[in-house]
Amino acid sequence: MIDLKDKRITVTGGKGFLGRALGEKLKNAWGCRHVAIADLPEYDLRTLPGIEKMFIDQRPELIIHLAAIVGGIGANSENPGQFFYDNAVMGIHLLHEAYLRGIEKFVALGTICCYPKFTPVPFREESLWDGYPEETNAPYGLAKKMLLVQSQAYRQQYGFHSIFLMPVNLYGPGDNFDPRSSHVIPALIRKCIDAMEAGQSEIRVWGTGNASREFLYVDDAAEGIALAAERYDKPEPVNLGAGFEITIRDLVELIVTLTGFVGKIVWDAGKPDGQPRRMLDVSKAKAEFGFAARTTFADGLRRTIEWYRKTRQEPALK
């Protein structure tokens, strides 16, 4: 176990959705005194000069690598080369430099997209190499998966302390609501609220609604990462999730109810569903470092909707 309080901790991607939640969690719940952020534009971690600048400026003892180029099905389909290269090169260089500089521990964040397309539900860590990922996000998923290979290889050859965590889709206040790159929950919340404000009688939703997903509230994810950083030090990857499954059709109906939208839902079956089913086996996280999600899905959605409504009503700063 590592006492995180006095460690110099760098959170890559610390300005992002999960990064902000993790920074607050480390400072407020763990009492960490030295939490630094490595993010654009100050540090371009896709380049060696950007990584070297981060190490010189921050002198980290522990790195939590959250930085990633991410997006929903549409963004992944439109930018497969960028999503592969940017994520792969960033992770490879960052972990290698951390090893060379004697960093005490490296916490790498993977993704549920690492799993094969037809993984049996619930997804168990042992199934990770049983097939190819779902095609629309395979370049992103495989780029992140290489971090696991590198992490295990460096532990085996050099004794480097690196761990690999795989969270499900995250949601919560502060999420990305840009329709060009958002994931399914913020996209649906925005569709409903925009339609209500514009007086529109219907919303259009991608796919058939038959695919299923699992979602983890961002504050719970931050707690899981902090617990793993403090308590976990083994080569095997670990799932981070809430341990439930919901179809996209049921998700849409729930968000429609919670936002108050009363119009028609039009399903665009010509658009891809993505991976058919997603739900994690979360028993390893509980057994290894005591993590279990605490926020119910309905409560998390209510907080997210409330945050989005409040944020969009605030006047822009001049």
Task: Calculate mean pLDDT across residues 286-294.
Answer: 98
At 107, is the pLDDT very low, low, confident or very high (cuts 50, 70, 90)?
A: very high
DSSP per residue over 66-109, as a string? -------HHHHHH-HHHHHHHHHHHHHHHHHHHHHTT-SEEEEE
Within 10 angstroms of residue 158's Cβ, the number of other Cβ atoms is 11
pLDDT digits (tens, 9 = 90+) for 206-230: 899 999 999 999 999 999 999 999 9
pTM metric for this prediction:
0.93
Helices 48-58 and 80-100 pack at an angle, to 10 degrees, of: 40
Strand partners of residue 65: 12, 108
Predicted local distance difference test score (pLDDT) of residue 254? 97
The active-site residue, picked from 99, 115, 140, 217, is: 140
Class of domain 8-171+218-243+279-295: alpha beta
Predicted local distance difference test score (pLDDT) of residue 314? 65
At 193, is the pLDDT very low, low, confident or very high (cuts 50, 70, 90)?
A: very high
> Residue 285 — φ and ψ, nearest 5°?
-60, -40
DSSP per residue over 14-76, as a string? TTSHHHHHHHHHHHHTS--SEEEEE-TTT--TTSHHHHHHHHHHH--SEEEE-------HHHH
pLDDT digits (tens, 9 = 90+) for 128-157: 999 999 998 899 999 999 999 999 999 999
pLDDT, mean over the chain: 94
Q: For residue 226, what are the CA distances in angstroms to 25, 47, 106, 252? A: 8, 27, 12, 31
Strand 215-217 and strand 246-247: the pairing is unpaired
Q: Tell me whether residue 171 is one of the annotated catalytic residues.
A: no
CA dist., res. 119 & res. 9, Å (int): 35
Tokens linked to 214: 């699992």
Residue 318 has pLDDT above 60, yes or no: no
Nearest CA among 117, 136, 116, 140 for reference residue 128: 116
Predicted local distance difference test score (pLDDT) of residue 206? 87
Q: For residue 156, what are the CA distances in angstroms to 92, 146, 150, 160? A: 16, 15, 10, 8
Predicted local distance difference test score (pLDDT) of residue 181? 79
pLDDT digits (tens, 9 = 90+) for 165-192: 999 999 999 999 988 778 899 999 999 9
Distance, first Cα to last Cα, the chain = 47
The full set of domain ranges for the chain reads 8-171+218-243+279-295
